[in-house]
Amino acid sequence: MGRITVFGGPERRRRWSAEERRRILEEAFAQGACVAQVARRYDVSTALVYTWRRKLSAALVASQEDHGFIEAVVLEDKSSMPTPVQPAITVELSHGARVSIYNSASPTMAAAVIKALAR
């Protein structure tokens, strides 16, 4: 059976601190977790948990401004995966690694890779 919380006075909604939200989000979206079960345990709706996650994601994106996420694949053995076509751009890094950008990459993606390497 559920629990009922009665609020008196002008405050009619339950307030969650940033720490409580963070803890609930970490638990709800951990590997193998069930959002509904975690929400039930903390007596919060699943919709609110998803709203918190969406707002947190938006805040993180806004704080990073134009930094995006790019999928990267690191190959240890260069001979194990031959490339079918020659890259349009190859950047040799000081520690011996190599970054290749192919013609199929969008201009935005290529610019983001080069900008990330410049930092």
Whether this prediction's pTM lies above 0.85 is answered by: no
Residue 61 token pair: 């994106």
Supply φ then ψ for residue 110, to 5 degrees: -60, -45
**Bridge partners (DSSP) listed for residue 100:** 90
Q: Mind listing the pLDDT tens digit for each residue in 20-70?
A: 999 999 999 888 899 999 999 998 999 999 999 888 888 776 665 555 566
**Which residue's entry shows tokens 């930092």?**
119
Residue 9 tokens read as 């006075």
CB of 27 closer than 8 Å to CB of 33: yes
The encoded tokens of residue 47 equal 């919709």
- Break the chain down into helix, strand, coil percent, rounded to 5: 40, 5, 50
